[in-house]
Structure 1
């Protein structure tokens, strides 16, 4: 909420002084017949009364409304109360200043204060005051929205930087993780079968090149990942021979989709790590596609004693997907099998734009709302500027034929429709209908 301080008061006082000086000099130069120091001082005094009363009257009204209702959180209430308060306060201020000017200072009769020339002057000055106040309200609204937009942009940048940093951290785990586990396999092979260890070393160099090439990418095609997984499976077969079997069944359409890089390698490694495999009880691993997901399934032959895991493999995939999309990674375990299914994404886009966050959606809606309100206020300010000018031209050129009513009423009707569309029934009705359609579509699923 808004808080008024001494700087704001001093700023309003400075504005009032400049307005007093400018308007006083203007009226003294063009509307005062006798040019004297006394009349100049009177002109400045009258201008000061109007400027200080109007500026501080509207200033304190705005401060009070801003302290109760936020332009951002209570936009509609703030605008409606602002319009009502502006009309009421400015009418009171105009009548007060005109009474001091015409009745107290100029010593005119109060009997004709609301009629004749004084009544006309009251009406003109009220319109001018409402115009100035509308501009001040529009300026205050725009400043609040700009502050909110800048804050939203900063928050979005912080979210993006945080997510990207987290994503990079997760990807950087892959390089040493793969190397560490591959060296463990190689170490075991050196003792078991030195010839296989040599072939394993040659294959590992090719695979490690792929790891280095792909680990910095956010997404790779399923086809690339499957080809790499097959090469990695051949490497595993080098060590386990007929103790492990692999079955690939991924349809052609799925090959064009995208997954996070090295996800299959991590999941295959997870199968080997947590299950025992022998010739009599081989480990069967299936990789297949179904309903937009890529499945990695194995028969459950869980090791009785497993060294405490570093938690990099499966958790790494889950976390990387959470930064890329709202689609979840699913894990299913029974007495007979262990299954992981990862979503296949249909569009290769960056981590920060794969799925819009609540913050980005709110920002887009706020930006759209600002455009709507800017359009309405531009229309309102134009109306307040043009109609009084047309009225002046009408009364000055042909006071007996009041033609200014036609543009005033026609434009006023259009302005009312614009106001209803921006703040009133039309907008609510449209949003309710959209929500009904969305609810109906969701209920069919």
Structure 2
């Protein structure tokens, strides 16, 4: 037990002792006040401390989050046996040792009723402590999960921003290289290229901060960019666009086509005799960029910004993968077209959401059971007290005691024993038998 818990129990002892001394003690003396506080301390420290120790021991061995059912079942067993033993111990010290009540009357008469009443009160307090422990552990686990998800999201967001920031200087560097070549070869084309490049660069600045753009927007940009490449390479490069109209409203990562077109030019040679043919088309939910393979020898190793950038950005946005196919005749890249705009860096997939919903349902079931148990422990002793104070010759309290008790037991069996898993298994077994019977008749 912690120091804070011990101090709380001492305060409870003091308040309880003063309360019983004020309202239930006839001889108001200092000795009786001290005795009343000591007896209250006995009950508080032994019962409260014992339940605290058992609760902490069970929580260390069996987590409320990972072993919910085992922890709950052992908690119910511990509540019943530990509290009964602790209450009887305290009552034995109080009545037999302090008040000199004969042991033969310990389990009968008024002392027997006090035993029963105190056990129910102890069960109520213990049930409250276990429920509080469960809610505390669940809140800690929820807060921990939220913090972890925020860290994951921040990390993924930073990574995504870093990838997008590669696009701006990468595009500018390659475009300036093209422009530098055209200045010597054809100054007039270089001037037209500069004008077109300003329009394209405006698109780069507008789109690079977006997570997704429509296929139609990306195609329009790609066609303009292909015109620039055509200006430089003339009939050495041939472009073919064949994207279905229905796919144009789908989404892709921005500047993906520009990066892949650059890759085609960068890694392949193109001449009038052997032109580089680049096809852009849609198929089976993918936007495909395909070129005939005319691989050139690399003077230096590629930095790998283009394709790897696209792969990493898609990995952060969706579970759909980017596919690369290569043969002796062609090189093909398939990028998935997404049917709806998604929130980037989503950290909870369908399985996790289903698990979360199931966990929420489980928490509601446990809260309902503990609420039922606490209500039973509160109202049944109250009804017994009312019954014995008013008409002790007719003990009607047994009816709600057993009726409600059966309900609590049934609730416990449903939550910790059979539960919905059993129902689902029975339904699956029944459906399986029906399928087998149908096969036999066919």
Q: TM-score, normalised by structure 2?
A: 0.91
* Structure-1 residue corresponding to 2:438: none
Looking at structure 1, the residues matched to 357 and 175 of structure 2 have their Cα atoms a distance apart, in angstroms, of 47
Structure 1 residue 133, shift from structure 2 partner: 0.7
1:224 equivalenced with 2:217 (yes/no): yes
1:174 equivalenced with 2:202 (yes/no): no
Deviations 1:374-407 (A, max 9, x none): 3332232222222222222222223333333443
Looking at structure 2, the residues matched to 306 and 284 of structure 1 have their Cα atoms a distance apart, in angstroms, of 23
Select which of 308, 322, 327 maps to 1:329: 322
* 1:81-100 correspondence runs (5 A): 81-100=74-93
* 1:44-443 correspondence runs (5 A): 44-353=37-346, 356=349, 366-429=359-422
Q: Is the 8 A contact 1:325 1:355 kept in 2?
A: no
Q: Secondary structure at the match of 1:256?
A: coil
Kindly report structure 1 stretches of 4+ aligned residues shifted beyond 6 Å: 357-361, 433-436
Structure 1 residue 420, shift from structure 2 partner: 3.5
Q: TM-score, normalised by structure 1?
A: 0.91
What RMSD, in angstroms, separates the aligned Cα atoms of the two structures? 2.2
Q: Is the 8 A contact 1:288 1:295 kept in 2?
A: yes
Looking at structure 2, the residues matched to 148 and 201 of structure 1 have their Cα atoms a distance apart, in angstroms, of 58
Looking at structure 2, the residues matched to 220 and 342 of structure 1 have their Cα atoms a distance apart, in angstroms, of 13
Q: Which runs of 5+ in 1 are unaligned?
A: 1-7, 437-445
Q: Secondary structure at the match of 2:248?
A: helix
Q: Which moved more, 1:398-407 or 1:427-436?
A: 427-436
* Structure-1 residue corresponding to 2:440: none
Structure 1 residue 341, shift from structure 2 partner: 0.5
Q: Which moved more, 1:31-40 or 1:216-225?
A: 31-40
Looking at structure 1, the residues matched to 279 and 133 of structure 2 have their Cα atoms a distance apart, in angstroms, of 63
Q: Is the 8 A contact 1:152 1:363 kept in 2?
A: no
Structure 1 residue 412, shift from structure 2 partner: 3.4
Q: Is the 8 A contact 1:249 1:288 kept in 2?
A: yes
Looking at structure 1, the residues matched to 387 and 127 of structure 2 have their Cα atoms a distance apart, in angstroms, of 24
Q: Secondary structure at the match of 2:2?
A: helix
Looking at structure 1, the residues matched to 217 and 111 of structure 2 have their Cα atoms a distance apart, in angstroms, of 85
Q: Is the 8 A contact 1:324 1:355 kept in 2?
A: no
Q: Which runs of 5+ in 2 are unaligned?
A: 430-442
Structure 1 residue 122, shift from structure 2 partner: 0.6
Looking at structure 2, the residues matched to 355 and 393 of structure 1 have their Cα atoms a distance apart, in angstroms, of 54
Q: Which moved more, 1:333-342 or 1:64-73?
A: 64-73
How many residues were matched structurally? 430
Deviations 1:264-309 (A, max 9, x none): 1111111111111111111111111111111111111101234321
Looking at structure 1, the residues matched to 424 and 157 of structure 2 have their Cα atoms a distance apart, in angstroms, of 34
Looking at structure 2, the residues matched to 434 and 204 of structure 1 have their Cα atoms a distance apart, in angstroms, of 65
